[in-house]
Amino acid sequence: MNGARSPQPSLLPAFRVFISCVSDEFRAYRRDLQNSLTASGREIKIQEQFTDSGGKLLEQIDNYISKCQAVIHLVGDGCGVSPTPVEVRTMLKAHPQLVDDLGVLPTSFDTDLFRISYTQWEAFLAMFYRVPCFVYLADSKSRREDWKPPPDQIAAQKKHVERLEAMGHKRRMLPFVDAKDVALGFLNAILQHGDWSADEMPEAPQTFVWPQAQVHLDSHLADRHEEFQAFIRLVTGQSTERIQFISAPSDRGKSVLLAQFVNFARRMPGLCCGHADFKASPSLADVLWDLSRDLAPLRFPRFKREMDRSATDSLRTAFLQDLDESGKPVVLVLDTYEQATEEASRWVENRLLPHVRRYDGLRLVLAGIKVPALDPSRPWSRIATSRELPLIKDPAHWCDYARRVMGLTVSGDDQMKFDDHIRIIVRAAAGHPRLLETLVANLVSDGG
Amino acid sequence: MPLDFNEHLLLVQAAQGDPALLALATLDIVLASQPPELRRVVEAAAVPHWFDETLFHLILDDDLRAESGRWYAAVIALPLVEAIPARQGFNIHETARLALRRQMFTERPERFCELSERAAAAFSGPAVHDQIEHVYHLVVAAPAKGSFALRDLNVRLTGSVEASLALTSAIEEYGRDVVWPALARGWAFLLSAWNRKALRPEQTSADASKAFWAFMETETDWAIKLAQVKLGETALTTGDLSEAQRLFTESLLLAQCLTESDPANAFWQRGVTLSLNRLGGLAVAQGDLIAAEGHFTASYKNSERLMVLDPANADWQRDLAFCLCSLGDVAFAQRDLTAASRYFNASLEISERLTASDPANADWQRDLAGILIRLGDLAVAQGEGTAAAQHFDASVKIRERLAASDPANAILLRDLYVALEKHGSLAVPLKDMPITQRYVAGGLKISESLGVSDPDNATWQRDLWVSYWRLANLMERQCQPEAGAYWGKAYDIVAGMKQARRKWDQGKQQPKKTEFSE
């Protein structure tokens, strides 16, 4: 207020809540709940707000829930109306992985899939998008005595509850007495658990199948064999280390080496590789966006939702949660760490590195002029190694480079003369890789 | 014309192992076999942090622009050029880029400024990184104009820590070398002092001081004033109140001189307001409420004048609300509850107007929540418990939302703790105690999480003690058996704090013992 920097973002992200229930059964509760939860900046929607648009109700619900911060799902005796098979097929076409992802739904060939009601889909869509879904079950006090659904709806709703329980949602299914009870419980959950969205995450798999290197590969660089082999061990699960720091002053070929790592990792079946760069101090959101784009086969539902909201911290947490849930081995390659803003480097050191330690499916390579120091008091240090790229002062490595990488073919006196030249320029250039690559390339193009 | 082996060797040997010179030697060797125009092309590409085809076209020399596509293809094929995925463009490798920029600026400043001017014009987009790049070039091409642009951009970026730090990092280059214009150097340090104060507090004073001396070289009064204010704030943080007083007074005098020389300039006028506010805050810290009242009153009058000039300006309105709130604090401290009520309500009115105009503005919401807490305190002092509860409750709601928007932000969490604690501290009849207990329990959750995150933070430990104590007290009055456990926890915290204090005292005495033994 006094003109000093404020500690929070200047814009408050919107908080969207969807109240999901069968209107005929819980209309009054829903209205009361809507009134109780309404507050400045909080957007509360219900199914009826979409029905006027005609024909695409499921698509609209899908679209809204994908951007929600929470869904409140009231479960009673009835399940409500079901969408048309065309609507369901359209949605499944948009999300081909939905049935597999949730694991409890009938297959797309099973007609039971088309019996799932709009209200039931609302809960499933919330889970698909990893939106925290608060399920409240009507108990003897809240159940409507004056309203009875047809028997087939009662059976369908029973099945729905079984599916929710099978998805591990039992711990989140609470009985409710009235709308105020739900509102208080919900607000309490928001207030008391900053990381409550983490509850939506299924247990991460404990072991990962790391791919095996199919063929022997080496770097196309001078004297970087050791670093390259260490990387291969890292991404094939043959090493106890999970984090590799690569540091060196400018012009030692860090970025070129990392580009080769990435090239190699992308050719390994079953391994996902994300590559990003802190060059020119991009925002952390931009870096994470680049990584999520690189890791396109993986889903990032929470991350994409938080991108819409511009909520800084939630965005970063969402990225890690989505990553954990992918179930696939992932390697992240981050370059030019010295140009990361302090905000970004704090996140890397306080959140990302501890996360790699906890989560077995993730490996990290971080390179820069400066990298985090290995510190025994920080647990992630135990699974990290730090290498400094040396200057390449041994002329033999450059002779090898000229032949192996640049394709030089000379012999006899010419070879001796070439090796002599190499010795002279290596000494003059003090082993600086970038300069030597240029000089060797020129020598080779001059025919040695 | 391509160089032969011996010429290569001479170039490399001349660099004598210096990385910047080696980078330039590499460039010379690479360019030797290329068309001579490519050197000018590389110079143009080396000025910005990055370029894409459009930016490259705009920065390129006029006579080369007709074939910019060809030159672009040639430059990105050079071994010194790298891709920059975050910007979907390319950049000259940093060592070579910085060496080339420095060489151009020292040997051919006109050429460098011409390219920088073009680069500043090219980066005209609304994206934050474009705005940062724009001022990065402008502050060396036209330092005076660039300084204003830099200052304004830094203000605009307030609220986005990352963007402010990105701006600081971009400008940092000018602080590393005395060859750059003094204004640019001064800004490199001042931005660091402003934007990195939370991250590197130990560096703030040195940065502010370097900024001050760099600005003194240019005799740019308004920039000197900004550095002085920062130095004063640093002195205040370290407890050097007399130095803070001197620096704030000097910055006030400077701001007043600037205002006299250009009465229509709102920025100078605001400088007067901010300096007066700082002097007022300092007087409060010194317990001199009369002096504080004088400073805040003068600040209020100044803000009012600004408001008259531009009633729609939200910054002036916010300044006015702050002055009123500060005057309310002083009146409250003097036990003049009528005056305090008048000031707080006037401040509330402005804050409510601002938040209504943009409910998503977190700064304004935070201001509003702060005034509601003061009104709650005032109501308590006036014996109006119901009104106090309403004010605290309204503040809780706002702070709950702010905290939920950024759950890792300790400042926002503590704000919420304070509001919950205030509500929980209200005296209520026995029947309402369960509700009060819920507020206290909410506060306890926060103080526990903050206490765990940094056990050495004395304020948070104290908060934790207050929460345990309050909860134990409430439970005991309701005859709940858990009260004993909470009394025990409160005791443990106090005992821990006392022990920490003892250790700290011993630590402070340690050097004396060493001195003595030596």
Check B161 against A428: CB less than 8 A apart.
no
Check B163 against A344: CB less than 8 A apart.
no
Residue B431 has pLDDT above 70, yes or no: yes
Across A422-431, B158-167, B183-192, the highest mean pLDDT is recorded for B183-192
Check A251 against B23: CB less than 8 A apart.
yes
Nearest to A438 among B29, B50, B365 (CB): B29
Cβ neighbors of B473 (< 8 A, separation 6 or more) are: B483
Nearest to A8 among B128, B199, B366 (CB): B366
Decide: residue B63, CB within 10 A, 0-12 exposed, 13-18 middle, 19+ buried: exposed
Query: What is the per-residue pLDDT for B235?
Result: 83
Residue B331 has pLDDT above 90, yes or no: yes
Please tell me the least confidently modeled range out of A80-84, A136-140, A349-353, B276-280: A136-140
Query: What is the per-residue pLDDT for A25?
Result: 87
Chain A residues with beta carbon closer than 8 angstroms to that of B22: 251, 429-430, 432, 435
Please tell me the least confidently modeled range out of A60-64, A150-154, B15-19, B346-350: B15-19
Angle, helices A118-128/A151-166, rounded to nearest 10 degrees: 10
Please tell me the least confidently modeled range out of A235-244, A306-315, B357-366: A306-315
Decide: residue A304, CB within 10 A, 0-12 exposed, 13-18 middle, 19+ buried: middle
Instruction: Give the residue among B91, B97, B86 at the shortest CA–CA distance from B128.
Output: B86
Chain A residues with beta carbon closer than 8 angstroms to that of B444: none
pLDDT > 70 in chain A, percent: 87
Residue B372 has pLDDT above 90, yes or no: yes
Check B402 against A8: CB less than 8 A apart.
yes
Nearest to A39 among B5, B362, B401 (CB): B401
Residue A224 has pLDDT above 90, yes or no: no
A330: its two tokens: 């992932």
> A40, A281, A419: which to substitute to probe chain B, counting the most B Cβ within 10 Å?
A281
Query: What is the per-residue pLDDT for B44?
Result: 97
**B201/A97: higher pLDDT:** A97
User: Span B192-221, mean pLDDT?
Assistant: 85
Check A343 against B160: CB less than 8 A apart.
no
Residue B508 has pLDDT above 80, yes or no: no
Cα–Cα distance, B408 to B404 (Å, whole number): 9
Going by pLDDT thresholds of 50, 70 and 90, the confidence category of residue A180 is confident
| E-only strand ranges, A158-284 | 173-176, 243-247, 272-277
State the nearest Cα–Cα gap between B503 and chain A, in angstroms. Answer: 22
Query: What is the per-residue pLDDT for A305?
Result: 85
Q: What is the CA radius of gyration of chain A?
A: 28
Chain B residues with beta carbon closer than 8 angstroms to that of A436: none
Check B158 against A6: CB less than 8 A apart.
yes
Please tell me the least confidently modeled range out of A19-33, A201-215, A275-289: A201-215
Does B77 touch chain A if contact means CB atoms closer than 8 Å?
Answer: no
CA distances B1 to A376, B4, B24, B34, Å, are 56, 9, 17, 7
Cα–Cα distance, B511 to B518 (Å, whole number): 10
Mean pLDDT (chain B, rounded):
87
Check A8 against B129: CB less than 8 A apart.
no
Chain B residues with beta carbon closer than 8 angstroms to that of A427: none
Query: What is the per-residue pLDDT for A445?
Result: 75
Chain A residues with beta carbon closer than 8 angstroms to that of B9: 424-425, 428
Check B87 against A280: CB less than 8 A apart.
yes
Query: What is the per-residue pLDDT for A13?
Result: 65
Please tell me the least confidently modeled range out of A55-69, A191-205, A381-395, B272-286: A191-205
Bridge partners of A331, per DSSP, are: A273, A363
- Amino acid at site A428: A
Residue B408 has pLDDT above 80, yes or no: no
CA distances B179 to A394, B20, B106, B107, B217, Å, are 37, 15, 7, 11, 13
- Strand A42-46 vs strand A15-20: parallel, antiparallel, or unpaired? parallel
What would the pLDDT profile of A283-323 be if each residue is shown by its tens digit? Answer: 888 899 989 989 988 889 888 888 876 666 778 888 998 98
Nearest to B162 among A192, A343, A435 (CB): A343
A312: how many CB neighbours lie within 10 A of its CB? 24
State the nearest Cα–Cα gap between A276 and chain B, in angstroms. Answer: 7
Nearest to B166 among A39, A281, A313 (CB): A281
User: Span B146-163, mean pLDDT?
Assistant: 87
Residue B500 has pLDDT above 80, yes or no: no
User: Span B349-371, mean pLDDT?
Assistant: 89
Across A425-429, B8-12, B303-307, B349-353, the highest mean pLDDT is recorded for B349-353
Which string of b and e fits B120-144 if b means at least 16 CB within 10 Å? bebbeeeebbebbbbbbbbbbbbbe
Check B93 against A434: CB less than 8 A apart.
yes
User: Span A404-418, mean pLDDT?
Assistant: 80
Residue A37 has pLDDT above 70, yes or no: yes
Nearest to B411 among A7, A287, A435 (CB): A7
Does B84 touch chain A if contact means CB atoms closer than 8 Å?
Answer: yes
Cα–Cα distance, B231 to B211 (Å, whole number): 10
**B17/A206: higher pLDDT:** B17
Query: What is the per-residue pLDDT for B514?
Result: 33
Does B377 touch chain A if contact means CB atoms closer than 8 Å?
Answer: no
Please tell me the least confidently modeled range out of A167-176, A379-388, B242-251: A167-176
Cα–Cα distance, B95 to B20 (Å, whole number): 6
Residue A191 has pLDDT above 80, yes or no: no
Query: What is the per-residue pLDDT for A223?
Result: 84
Please tell me the least confidently modeled range out of A229-243, A336-350, B251-265, B388-402: B251-265
Cα–Cα distance, A79 to A366 (Å, whole number): 51
B102: how many CB neighbours lie within 10 A of its CB? 18
Distance of CA A80 to the CA centre of its chain: 35
Going by pLDDT thresholds of 50, 70 and 90, the confidence category of residue A29 is confident
Going by pLDDT thresholds of 50, 70 and 90, the confidence category of residue B145 is very high
Query: What is the per-residue pLDDT for A196?
Result: 42
Cα–Cα distance, B142 to B120 (Å, whole number): 10
Locate the chain A residue with the closest alpha carbon to B407. A194
CA distances A444 to A178, A405, B68, B302, Å, are 82, 11, 30, 74
Residue B99 has pLDDT above 50, yes or no: yes
Does B411 touch chain A if contact means CB atoms closer than 8 Å?
Answer: yes
Residue A48 has pLDDT above 50, yes or no: yes
Chain A residues with beta carbon closer than 8 angstroms to that of B85: 275-277, 290
Does B192 touch chain A if contact means CB atoms closer than 8 Å?
Answer: no
State the nearest Cα–Cα gap between A125 and chain B, in angstroms. Answer: 23
Does B362 touch chain A if contact means CB atoms closer than 8 Å?
Answer: yes
H or E element at residue A17? strand A15-20
Sign of CA dihedral A125, A127, A132, A138: positive
Angle, helices B182-195/B221-237, rounded to nearest 10 degrees: 30
Check B160 against A344: CB less than 8 A apart.
no
Query: What is the per-residue pLDDT for A309?
Result: 67
Check B409 against A194: CB less than 8 A apart.
no
Chain A residues with beta carbon closer than 8 angstroms to that of B23: 251, 434-435
Chain B residues with beta carbon closer than 8 angstroms to that of A283: 128, 162-163, 166
The three-state (H, E, C) secondary structure of B297-348, written as one string = HHHHHHHHHHHHHCCCCHHHHHHHHHHHHHHHHHHHHCCCHHHHHHHHHHHH
> B406, B409, B413, B447: which to substitute to probe chain A, counting the most A Cβ within 10 Å?
B406
User: Span A45-70, mean pLDDT?
Assistant: 81
**ipTM higher than the 0.85 cut:** no
Show which of residues 228-257 on chain B sit within 8 Å of chain A, judged by CB atoms.
none
Nearest to A342 among B82, B199, B401 (CB): B199
Residue B221 has pLDDT above 80, yes or no: yes
Does B85 touch chain A if contact means CB atoms closer than 8 Å?
Answer: yes
> A184, A251, A287: which to substitute to probe chain B, counting the most B Cβ within 10 Å?
A251
Chain B residues with beta carbon closer than 8 angstroms to that of A43: none
Listed as own residue / partner, the contacts of B490-496 with beta carbons closer than 8 Å and 24 or more positions apart are B490/B465, B493/B461, B493/B464, B493/B465, B493/B468, B494/B465, B496/B461
Check B322 against A2: CB less than 8 A apart.
yes
Locate the chain B residue with the closest alpha carbon to A286. B86
Check B159 against A10: CB less than 8 A apart.
yes
- Strand B81-84 vs strand B89-92: parallel, antiparallel, or unpaired? antiparallel
Locate the chain B residue with the closest alpha carbon to A256. B82
State the nearest Cα–Cα gap between A28 and chain B, in angstroms. Answer: 25
Nearest to A290 among B5, B12, B86 (CB): B86
Going by pLDDT thresholds of 50, 70 and 90, the confidence category of residue A214 is low
User: Span B434-447, mean pLDDT?
Assistant: 86
Going by pLDDT thresholds of 50, 70 and 90, the confidence category of residue B97 is very high
State the nearest Cα–Cα gap between A149 and chain B, in angstroms. Answer: 38
Check B85 against A275: CB less than 8 A apart.
yes
| E-only strand ranges, A92-235 | 133-138, 173-176
Q: Tokens 């199948």 sit at which residue?
A: A209
Mean pLDDT (chain A, rounded):
83
Instruction: Give the residue among B327, B389, B323 at the shortest CA–CA distance from B350.
Output: B323
Chain A residues with beta carbon closer than 8 angstroms to that of B194: 5
Strand arrangement, sheet containing A133-138: A42-46, A15-20, A70-75, A133-138, A173-176
- Strand A70-75 vs strand A173-176: parallel, antiparallel, or unpaired? unpaired
Cβ neighbors of B70 (< 8 A, separation 6 or more) are: none
Show which of residues 91-120 on chain B sit within 8 Å of chain A, judged by CB atoms.
91, 93-95
SS3 of residue A274 by DSSP: strand
End-to-end CA distance of chain B: 71
Size of interface A-B (CB pairs under 8 A): 205
Query: What is the per-residue pLDDT for A198?
Result: 44
Check A276 against B403: CB less than 8 A apart.
no
Cβ neighbors of A358 (< 8 A, separation 6 or more) are: none
pTM for the whole structure = 0.71
